[in-house]
Structure 1
C-alpha cells in the first residue's frame, strides 16, 4: 500500500511540497547557524580584545602590573554583565562584579554611578567570591585539564567556554600564558543573551520571509503542474474524439515527451483500421461465396421439394449466414475508428426503400428526426439495424408507422423509437422475440432473425434495444445508440 495518490497530479504535487518544505527547513537551520556563528564571532572579537589588553599587564615573571589594568567599556557597567578575571600563581584579580550591586538593590538603595576605575579601584588580590566566579567564569582546572564546556583552542591558544551562571547562560574566552612562576590564565566573559537576542530578532523576519517563499513556491508548483499536465488532458480529449468518431488520429504537435506515445497510438489505430477493413473484406468475400451456391441450391430444389420443406431450410441457412456475418462485422467497431453517421438520411433512405418493397400493404410511415442528430455507428451497421426494425414494423403494421429520435436522458446516447399500429407482442413474449431464430408469428416469409440482429448490433455498439407497447396500439421498438458526444470518462 503506497501513501502517494493514484493520480500523477497528486503525486507530483505531494513530492514537490515535501521537497519544498524540506528545502525551507534546511535553509532556516543553515541560515540560523550562519547568523549564530556571525554574531558569536563578533562577541568573541570583543572578548579577545579585552584579553589582549589584560595580557599586557602580565609581566614576564608572572606577576601582575596593576598599573596596566584598565577597566574600559563595557566592563565598567556593573549591570551589563561583562566581566574578566586573571588567575595568576597565588592570586586572582577580577573586575567589579554584580553581587555588590545586587546587595544595594536588595536594601532598596539607588546605585551610585560607576566610579572612574584607576588601578586602585580594582579589588585587592584575593580569592573571588562564588557570585563573582559565576559571573566572570570558572577558574582554570588545577590539573591542567580542560573544564566542562570548554571549546577547542584557536591557533593563538585562546579557548571558548560556555556555562550556566546565576544570571543565565554565559560565554567566555580564555587565554593561558606560560611564565616562570606558573601558568597565568586570563578570562573575559559576557552574557550569552547578547548573542541570543539579536539572533532571535533576526530569525523572526527570516522565518516570515521563508514562509512567504514557501507560499510562492507552492503557487508556482500548482501553476507548473497545471501547465505541464495540460497536454495529457488534451490527449485524453483527442482519444475521446476518436472514440466518438469526430477525429481519425491524435494531433502530431505534442510535447517532446508525449510525441512518441501519440505516434504509437496513431499507429495502433491505423493497424486496427486496416484489420477492420480486412475483416470486412473477408466477410464480403464469404457472403459472396455463399450467396451463389445457396441461390443455385434454391433453384434446383423445387422438383425435389414438393412440400417446400427443403426450401425453408435453405432460407433458414441464408438468414443464419446473414446473421452471423452481420455479427462478425459489428463485433469490431470498438477496435477500429468510429465515425459520426447522421441519423435522418439513413432513416429516410430506408423508409423510401421499404415503402416500395411493401407497397402492397398500404402502410404509411412518418419520421420526426432532427437533422443534426448523429450516432457513433458505422453506416453499414446502422442500415442493417434500422432496416431490420423498419422491415419488422412494415410486416406487422396495420396502416401506420412512426419514427422518432431525440437525445436520451443519458446525453451519451440517442433514443430512436419505431412504433406501429399492429397487434404488438405480449409482454411475456418480448424477450423471446430478441432471440435468434424465434418466430412468434408463423405467417409471412420471415425467419425470426431481424429483431435479434438489431438487438446484437445495438448491444455491440454499447446501446440497447427494448420492446414495449406503442401508443398506436402495436409494438414500439426503442433502440439507444451512442452519440458523437461520448463522455471522456
Structure 2
C-alpha cells in the first residue's frame, strides 16, 4: 500500500477529529520551530556577550603589552570577574616562551584543546595582525571546562599569544534560565491555541449540525424542508437537498395517488361482486366467493407493499392526533346534536402517528362515525404511546357486538343492522389502512357494555 493510501486508512473518520489532528500537528510544529529558533537566537546573544567581555579583556592585555616595557603588564589590574581565583575567568599572555597570567589563575595554566566553535581556522604561517580573536575549547587548572578566545598579536618583532577564558557553564546556564520562562510561555500559548482550535471547530461545524438536525426533522415529518439561513459554503448543498426533498415528496404524492386509485379501482368491484355472491347457495358461486376473498387479500398485501415503497416507509411521517379528533368530534356532534351525546377526549397534545393526514382522517372518521351511530349516551376517546406504536381507543355505551360476529363486521360491505344508514365498508377500510402502515384494528367489548375499537399505528421516528 502506498503512503497516501496508508494515511487515508489511518486517518480519523470524523471531520472534527481530522481538524483537531491537523491543528495539533501544526501547532506542535510551530511551537517546536519557535523553541528551536528562540534557543538559537538566545545562544548567539549570550555567546556574543561573553565574546565581547573576553575580547575586551584581550584588548586590555594588548594595550598593556604595547607599553615601552613588559613589566607594565604585571601592573595590570584585572577587573571582575578576572580577579576571582577559580571562577573560570582567566587570561594568559605568552611572549617568547614566558607566560603572564591573571590573578584568578593563581599560578595555574589554561590548556587549549582545539575548537568546537571553529569558523576560519589557523593560517599556514603567522596570522594577520588585525585578525579577530577566535573561539576554542579548553580546561582550567582544576580540569574545569572553559570557553576560550585566542588572539595572536605581533609586537616588537615577535608574536604574543593572548588567551582569555570564561567557564563553559556561562554559555549554558543563562540560556537555560532564559529558556525556562520561554518554554513555559510556549506551553501556555499551546494550550490557548488548542482551546482556540476546539472553539473554532465547534463554531465551524455548527452549521453542519444544523443541517443534520434539519434533515432529521424532515425525515421525522416535523418539517418539509431544511429551514434557516446557511453559510455560503453550505447554501448550495442545502438548496440541492431541499430540491431533492421536494422532488421526492412530489414523486411520493403521485405514487400514493396511483396506489390509492388502483386500490379503489380493484376493491370496489370486488366488494360488489362479493356481495352479489354472498347470498347464493350455488356451489360454484361459493367457490367464486372464496376466490374473490383470496383476490382481495392478495390485492391488500401487494397494495400495502407498493404503498410502503412509495412512501419510503411510514416512519418519515408525523401527524398530530388530538387536533384531528377534536375537528371530527365537532362535525359529528353537530350532526348528532339532537341525541345529546357526551364525548370525553383523553389524548395528549404531543401524541402523533407516522401516518398520512388524510389516511388518519379516514380511519378516525370511520371509527368515530360508527361510535356516534351506536352510542346511547357517552363516547370515550383515549390515546397513548405504546413503545414504538400509538394506540387509539374509542369506546361507546351502545349495544356492542358479540365475539362471534366481530369478524363479520370487518368484512367489506357486511352490515349487522340493515336499518342503520351506511354501506358496511367503514371498519374494513380502517383495518386495511392500519395494516398498510404496519398497524392493526381490534374490536372488543367496552366497559359500559358497548363496542371498543382499538387502532394501532406506528409512532414517528424519534429525533
2:431–2:440 Cα contact (<8 Å) kept = no
CA distance in 1, matches of 2:12, 2:317: 36
Would you say 1:151 and 2:158 are equivalent positions?
A: no
CA offsets, 1:347-392, max 9 Å, x none? 467789999xxxxxxx998653245644342123324655787899
Matches within 5 A, 1:53-72: 53-56=60-63, 65-68=70-73, 70-72=76-78
Aligned match of 1:457 in 411, 429, 436?
436
Matches within 5 A, 1:73-222: 73-74=79-80, 75-78=82-85, 80-98=87-105, 100=106, 132-133=108-109, 137-139=110-112, 147=114, 149-153=116-120, 156-163=131-138, 165=140, 166=142, 168-177=144-153, 184-222=160-198
Q: Secondary structure at the match of 2:224?
A: coil
Q: 1:174 to 1:199 in 2, by over 3 A?
A: same
CA distance in 2, matches of 1:476, 1:291: 23
CA-CA distance at 1:35 after TM superposition:
1.3
Aligned match of 2:299 in 301, 321, 327?
321
Aligned CA RMSD, in angstroms, stands at 4.9
Q: 1:78 to 1:12 in 2, by over 3 A?
A: same
Would you say 1:256 and 2:236 are equivalent positions?
A: no
CA distance in 1, matches of 2:441, 2:280: 42
1:160–1:173 Cα contact (<8 Å) kept = yes
CA distance in 2, matches of 1:364, 1:423: 24
Q: 1:317 to 1:380 in 2, by over 3 A?
A: farther
Would you say 1:479 and 2:430 are equivalent positions?
A: no
TM-score between the two structures when normalised by the length of structure 2: 0.70
Q: 1:269 to 1:163 in 2, by over 3 A?
A: farther
CA distance in 2, matches of 1:233, 1:41: 57
CA distance in 2, matches of 1:449, 1:169: 105
1:272–1:335 Cα contact (<8 Å) kept = no
Q: 1:477 to 1:187 in 2, by over 3 A?
A: same
Matches within 5 A, 1:325-344: 325-334=303-312, 340-344=318-322
CA offsets, 1:29-85, max 9 Å, x none? 3212211211111110111122233334667xxx98342563431223336431111
Q: 1:156 to 1:482 in 2, by over 3 A?
A: farther
2:111–2:139 Cα contact (<8 Å) kept = no
Q: 1:339 to 1:71 in 2, by over 3 A?
A: same
CA distance in 2, matches of 1:13, 1:414: 44
Aligned match of 1:378 in 353, 356, 370?
356
Q: Secondary structure at the match of 1:153?
A: coil
| Residue of structure 1 in register with 2:56 after alignment | 49
2:444–2:452 Cα contact (<8 Å) kept = yes
1:338–1:376 Cα contact (<8 Å) kept = yes
CA distance in 2, matches of 1:424, 1:210: 83
CA distance in 1, matches of 2:429, 2:139: 100
Aligned match of 2:382 in 396, 404, 409?
404
CA distance in 1, matches of 2:454, 2:368: 9
CA distance in 1, matches of 2:376, 2:348: 26
CA distance in 2, matches of 1:470, 1:364: 19
CA distance in 1, matches of 2:268, 2:403: 36
CA distance in 2, matches of 1:266, 1:453: 33
Q: Secondary structure at the match of 2:42?
A: helix
- Unmatched tracts of structure 1, length 5 or more: 101-128, 142-146, 356-362, 426-432
Larger deviation: 157-166 or 178-187?
178-187
CA offsets, 1:260-315, max 9 Å, x none? 22122112212211221221232244346546865886799799984542245335
2:144–2:167 Cα contact (<8 Å) kept = yes
Larger deviation: 318-327 or 383-392?
383-392
Q: 1:479 to 1:298 in 2, by over 3 A?
A: closer
TM-score between the two structures when normalised by the length of structure 1: 0.67
Q: 1:193 to 1:80 in 2, by over 3 A?
A: same
Q: How many residues align?
A: 419
CA-CA distance at 1:173 after TM superposition:
0.9
